[in-house]
């Protein structure tokens, strides 16, 4: 009987070690002075002594993946962009409550470790972490032969942040008269790719196809990384968003527009008894969304309930700082505009499609009305 080894079973530990060596420099570049130790330990350590200055520090945590966008990366053999998608999906969920991220970890499951591929993925994660000032404190690459195909992989991540209890953002701060500031998306981000991939498949379009509306290939457009909002949102909160009293906040809530679309995610941060109106004509839809709609004859309601349609983050702010909030966003390189405002539900006349009770949150509602500008 021949010998059965771990390598014969499909796991190459030497390849895993090579992948770690290839990614070490990228990961090291994310380290901040608060990080204790280096790469390769069983656990990452971060010094949180500064939390002693908080009166009541709250830890915020989030975890997510990139979804079926990885199929586009695999098909094109381009793996260094989805890392930014992962960071955006995770860290920007933390900033929504007003938290400053302290650390992030990642996890890659694959059928076979190709060191260069794994290093590309992690390099993308690390570059995005560095861009938002968050150390990539640890990670894991797991080889799953027999469970996943040799070229298959999936990525996930988790992050932890901190916020002073008196400065947590959310529905309890939102009130009638607040203004909705929409912050532009970079494209599809990382949601709705099952719909998008099905549309492309039915249409028979190849990823290498040049699309005039995009000025580049279909594949390049579909791989456009998720925009990172963390620094812009924190600048908004800490700059124009804070009053003279540390507990006074002019930025009342943030909504990260991910799966479910703008209205569904905005409704999650509104309290019962209030309704927000969103004017579809307030911004122009980027070409990729209309191409998907036309190519697949996708109904508007389905498109609106699946994709971000060009708005990746919404800030719900006091009317007095609306223009200043827009300027902060623009200064961070993110176009922004007023989408609408918040009203008392019993004094508001609905004119469009009402969305409420999403993601298990029984709170306020959103009336999304008007016609999109294409």
Q: What is the DSSP string of 237-285?
A: HHTTTB-SSTT-BSEEEEEE--TTHHHHHHHTTS-TTEEEEEEGGGSBP
- pLDDT tens digits for the chain (374 residues)? 566 556 656 666 666 667 667 666 776 777 777 878 766 667 778 888 999 999 999 999 999 999 999 999 999 999 999 999 999 999 999 999 999 999 999 999 999 999 899 999 999 999 999 999 999 998 889 999 989 999 999 999 999 999 999 999 999 999 999 999 999 999 999 999 999 999 999 999 999 999 999 999 999 999 999 999 999 999 999 988 666 565 678 999 999 999 999 999 999 999 999 999 999 999 999 999 999 999 999 999 999 999 999 999 999 999 999 999 999 999 999 999 999 999 999 999 999 999 997 777 778 999 999 999 99
Asked whether 91 and 104 are in contact (CB, 8 A), the reply is yes
For 171-369, which CATH class?
Answer: alpha beta
Its pTM surpasses 0.85 = yes
Euclidean distance between CA atoms 307 and 328, whole angstroms: 25
Euclidean distance between CA atoms 115 and 18, whole angstroms: 6
- The CATH fold assigned to 10-39+46-164 is 60s Ribosomal Protein L30; Chain: A; (3.30.1330)
Instruction: Enumerate the domain spans of the chain.
Output: 10-39+46-164, 171-369
Euclidean distance between CA atoms 231 and 293, whole angstroms: 32
């Amino acid at each position: 009987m021949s010998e059965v080894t771990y390598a014969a079973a499909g796991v190459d530990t030497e390849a895993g070690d090579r992948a770690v060596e290839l990614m070490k420099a990228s990961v090291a570049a994310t380290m901040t002075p608060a990080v204790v130790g280096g790469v390769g330990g069983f656990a990452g350590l971060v010094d949180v002594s500064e939390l002693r200055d908080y009166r009541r520090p709250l830890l915020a945590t989030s975890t997510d993946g990139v979804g079926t966008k990885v199929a586009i990366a695999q098909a094109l053999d381009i793996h260094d962009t989805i890392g930014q998608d992962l960071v955006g999906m995770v860290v920007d969920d933390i900033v929504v409550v007003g938290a400053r991220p302290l650390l992030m970890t990642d996890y890659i499951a694959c059928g076979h470790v190709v060191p260069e591929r794994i290093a590309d993925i992690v390099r993308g994660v690390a570059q995005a972490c560095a861009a938002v000032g968050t150390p990539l404190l640890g990670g894991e690459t797991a080889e799953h032969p027999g469970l996943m195909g040799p070229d298959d992989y999936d990525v996930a991540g988790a992050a932890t942040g901190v916020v002073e209890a008196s400065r947590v953002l959310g529905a309890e701060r939102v009130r009638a008269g607040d203004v909705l500031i929409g912050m532009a998306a970079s494209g599809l981000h990382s949601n709705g790719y099952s719909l998008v991939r099905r549309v492309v498949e039915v249409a028979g379009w190849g990823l290498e196809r040049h699309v005039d509306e995009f000025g580049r290939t279909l594949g390049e457009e579909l791989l456009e990384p998720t925009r990172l909002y963390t620094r812009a949102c924190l600048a908004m909160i800490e700059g124009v968003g804070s009053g003279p009293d540390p507990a006074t906040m002019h930025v009342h809530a943030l909504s990260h527009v991910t799966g479910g679309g703008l209205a569904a995610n905005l409704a999650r941060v509104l309290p019962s008894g209030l309704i927000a109106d969103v004017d579809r004509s307030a911004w122009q839809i980027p070409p990729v969304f209309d191409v998907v709609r036309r190519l697949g004859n996708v109904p508007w309601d389905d498109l609106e309930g699946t994709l971000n349609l060009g708005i990746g983050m919404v800030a719900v702010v006091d009317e007095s700082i609306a223009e200043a909030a827009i300027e902060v966003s623009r200064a961070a390189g993110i176009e922004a505009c007023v989408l609408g405002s918040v009203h008392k539900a019993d004094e508001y006349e609905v004119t469009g499609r009402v969305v409420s009770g999403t993601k298990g949150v029984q709170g306020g509602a959103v009336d999304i009305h008007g016609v999109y500008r294409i």
